[in-house]
Amino acid sequence: MEFGLATLLRDGEYIGALEVAEAFWPLGELRDNGVALPSDDVKQLLTIWPAAFPQLQGAAAICASGKLPGTIAIPRAVARLDVPIRFPNKLLGVGGNYADHLTEMGMLPKRIEPMAIFTRPPTTTMVGPGKTVVMPRKHKQLDWEIELAVVIGAHMSHVSPGEAMAGVAGYTVGIDLSVRDLARQADVPFRDVFRAKCQDTMCPVGPVVRPAVFVPNPHELTMKLTVNGVLRQHASTGEMLYRIEEQLSIISEVVRLEPGDVVLTGTPFGSGVHHGFFLKPGDRITAEIERVGTLQVEVVHCRSVLAASYAT
């Protein structure tokens, strides 16, 4: 039975849930109703993924069977989805991984050696669906990039490409946002990746983690991104210059990958730079990856926040 893993916000609490068909089934309530599950937290499940997956698949079959009270299920239309993994230890990105995107950025359309890798602070940059992307206060060139995001389900250090895919738990949809007028400034001799990509809410991810077994070939997936209903990016993951197993192998030579970590694998042609305009408050972005899911977010105005605690 096919399913996705999600995190919902309900009554001020974050709860893990199974996505089955058009509804979400809270993991805690499934356990309360006798369904065998090792944890009701998505990140915890990823730390024991080889053992957890068969139990989750069995739980999904029970959800679809009609044997549980229908009141447990939360319809998709009313579910308040958050980031599916709260939060990975590492949120990594791979830059320049599609030849046509390199061309539109004024670079040579070939593999960058060494492979470009960058990182973001997960707890402040990652957001889920909805009105979640905050427009930077002082900058105007907020750009979009759709990316297949790989979710790690094992500890991986110095693994070969042939070994790497065994450590993939699943996939989700990522939108890599960048402030272009910070990334490359005329009077600065380097790219400021930190200010350009690490601002709050700059990495929407979701809506669910789709287990890898349900995505037989992650290098044959159609990707589409629209802004306000207008198609801006349309490509295939088959156009990657570095395949997923190569990316994970190279990253694992630098830093140990851990269960729950998320790796964004690069974007194709069609970012705002190419189209000649950038995002503004009120714009709606829809990012869809075949077999993985559809992530919808909206850009909102920046506001001041000073608080002892903060919830997305």
Classify burial at 13, counting beta carbons within 10 Å of its beta carbon; exposed 0-12, middle 13-18, buried 19 or more. Answer: exposed
Look at strands 130-134 and 293-300 and give their pairing: parallel
Instruction: Convert the pLDDT of each residue in 152-179 to its tens digit.
Output: 999 999 999 999 999 999 999 999 999 9
Q: Where are the domains of the chain?
A: 4-75, 91-300
- The helix (run of H) or strand (run of E) holding residue 151 is strand 146-152
189: pLDDT strictly greater than 60: no
Evaluate the omega torsion of the peptide bond into residue 87 and state whether it is cis, within 30 degrees of 0.
Answer: yes
Q: How far apart are CA 107 and CA 95, in angstroms?
A: 12
Give DSSP secondary structure letters for 276-290.
T--B-TT-EEEEEET
Instruction: Convert the pLDDT of each residue in 24-60 to its tens digit.
Output: 999 999 999 999 999 999 999 999 999 999 999 999 9
- Whether the CB-CB separation of 239 and 98 falls below 8 Å is answered with yes
84: pLDDT strictly greater than 50: yes
Give the pLDDT band (50/70/90) at residue 185: low
Q: How far apart are CA 26 and CA 209, in angstroms?
A: 15
Helices (H) and strands (E) in the chain, counts: 10, 18
Give the pLDDT band (50/70/90) at residue 183: low
186: pLDDT strictly greater than 70: no
**Which residues fall within 8 angstroms of residue 206, CB to CB, at 6 or more apart?**
6, 81, 82, 83, 84, 128, 129, 172, 173, 293, 295
21: pLDDT strictly greater than 80: yes
More confident residue, 186 or 98: 98
Average pLDDT of the segment spanning 261-287: 95
Give the pLDDT band (50/70/90) at residue 181: confident
Hey, is 258 helix, strand or coil? coil
Residue 137 has a pLDDT of 86
The CATH homologous superfamily to which domain 91-300 belongs is: Fumarylacetoacetase-like, C-terminal domain (3.90.850.10)
- Which one, of 67, 69, 65, lies nearest residue 26 by Cα? 69
- The helix (run of H) or strand (run of E) holding residue 75 is strand 74-75
Residue 280 sits at φ, ψ, to 5 deg, of: -145, 165
Please count the other Cβ atoms lying within 10 Å of the Cβ belonging to residue 253: 10
Give the pLDDT band (50/70/90) at residue 312: very low
Please count the other Cβ atoms lying within 10 Å of the Cβ belonging to residue 288: 18
